[in-house]
Amino acid sequence: MPTKNPTFVTRAEAQLLKAMIWLANVKIRSTTQVEERCAREMVMAGYIATEDDFKTIKPHEVDRFREDQEELRAWLVKIAEPKEGDRAALVGEVNDFLKRKVPVAVRGDDGQRRFGPVINGLEAIYGYGVALLLDDERGLGTRLARCKAPNCGRFFLDLHPKGRPQQFCSDDHRMHYHAAKRKEERAKRMNK
């Protein structure tokens, strides 16, 4: 069911964005943990035909995925909490990345052919996902937020906004944040 929604994404793009946010937040334990979930989601979204089309790496190379995750998080911070010039610099970086990591192709059989990106690996997921967030026409750039609780920083992407975007993971993190704030203010008053 289409909903009244100021953002614009296709069903497949919504699924890709969901996988990207999962990737940004997950505690990476193994390569298969990441590959299996991402491959399944990209098949469901129609970006690849079978899970075997998804690029995999050797289990002992899991740190490569952690580095990818670091890169993704750094990019998302530039969108969620942009400083002067961040967005423009990010556009250059992402364009360069897209050229190298996200092929486009016409796929499928007679009568079912579709043109679009081939999302066949982790880098393709977040390169394409971040590019979608940078597309002003889609209105997604302001729907990305991070939990404000100390030591959290979990990312949220709200595709069906009702009012203000989410600011905390949970009531618990909301309380942690306000407690930390009160402590900070007390300390400030003591130092006067």
**Under DSSP, is residue 4 helix (H, G, I), strand (E, B) or coil?**
coil
To Zn ion, the closest distance from the beta carbon of 172 in angstroms equals: 8
User: Contact at 8 Å (CB) between 21 and 13?
Assistant: no
Q: Is 154 in the site for Zn ion (CB under 5 A)?
A: yes
Interaction residues for Zn ion, span 46-65 (CB under 5 A)? none
Q: Pick between residue 42 and residue 147 the one whose CB is nearest to Zn ion.
A: 147
- Shortest CB 170 distance to Zn ion, Å: 7
b/e 21-44 (16+ beta carbons within 10 angstroms → b): bebbbeeeeebeebbeebbebbbe
The window from 77-85, 115-123, 130-138, 145-153 that contacts Zn ion (CB under 5 A) reads: 145-153
The residue (of 75 and 168) whose beta carbon lies closer to Zn ion is 168
Is 149 near Zn ion (CB under 5 A)? yes
For Zn ion, the closer of residues 87 and 154 by Cβ is: 154
Q: Interface mask (CB under 5 A) for Zn ion, residues 18-47, using x and -? A: ------------------------------
Give the residue among 166, 160, 187, 159 at the shortest CA–CA distance from 18.
Answer: 159
Cα separations in angstroms, 161 against 20, 25, 120, 164, 191: 18, 20, 29, 7, 41
Can residue 169 be called a binding residue for Zn ion (CB under 5 A)? yes
Q: Does residue 176 interact with Zn ion by CB under 5 A?
A: no
Q: Which residues contact 116 (CB under 8 A, 6 or more apart)?
A: 47, 104, 105, 107
When asked if residue 173 is in the footprint of Zn ion (CB under 5 A), the reply is yes
Exactly one of 147, 155, 156, 157 binds Zn ion (CB under 5 A); that residue is 147
91: closest CA among 124, 55, 132? 132
Instruction: Say whether residue 180 binds Zn ion (CB under 5 A).
Output: no
Q: What does R_g of the chain's alpha carbons equal in angstroms?
A: 19
Interface contacts to Zn ion, rule CB under 5 A: 147, 149, 152, 154, 169, 173
